[in-house]
Each structure stands twice: as C-alpha cells, then as structure tokens.
Amino acid sequence: MMLEGNFDPGFRIVLHQKDLHNAILTGKDVGVPLMVTAMVQQILGSLINDGKGNSDHSAIANFMEDMAGVTIAD
C-alpha cells in the first residue's frame, strides 16, 4: 500500500503511543532497556504534536520521507 502511495489510516498513532508507553513502563519494571522503542515513541509524539495522531503507522513512513528528502512511492 505505501509503495503505491496509499497512506489511508488503520491503527491510529495515538493508540500506538499509548501501547509504546505501556511497553516502556513494563521494560523499566523488569529492568529491560527499550531504547529503540523510546525513540519510536518520540517520533510518534512529534506526529501527534503535528496533528497527525489520527493517522496510522504509515505516518512514520511520511516522517522518514520528510527527514530524508525522498519519497517511497514511485
């Protein structure tokens, strides 16, 4: 879908953010560092702050496209 330029939302970013928050808390409870999870949570926070909380995980691809100055779709 994303390779075709289709970024219709599925599971919303705000729900991903909540789940990652719970995962990070669990990691802290059991002494497991989740550094990449924390980085993704920060990206999701940026997307939410930019008004994209109702988008799905494909918004992460758009975020990376913007960061790299490229597009995924042909």
For 29-38, write each residue's pLDDT tens digit. 999 999 999 9
The answer to whether 40 touches 34, Cβ cutoff 8 Å, is no
Fold observed for domain 2-68: N-(1-d-carboxylethyl)-l-norvaline Dehydrogenase; domain 2 (1.10.1040)
pTM of the model: 0.76
Domain limits of the chain?
2-68
Q: What pLDDT score was predicted for residue 8?
A: 67
User: For 49-55, which contacts have Cβ atoms below 8 Å and span 24 or more sequence positions?
Assistant: 52/13, 53/12, 53/13, 53/14, 53/17, 54/9, 54/12, 54/13, 54/14, 55/7, 55/9, 55/12, 55/13
Q: What is the DSSP letter of 53?
A: T
User: How would DSSP label each residue in 19-43?
Assistant: HHHHHHHHHHHHT---HHHHHHHHH
Residue 1 has pLDDT above 60, yes or no: no
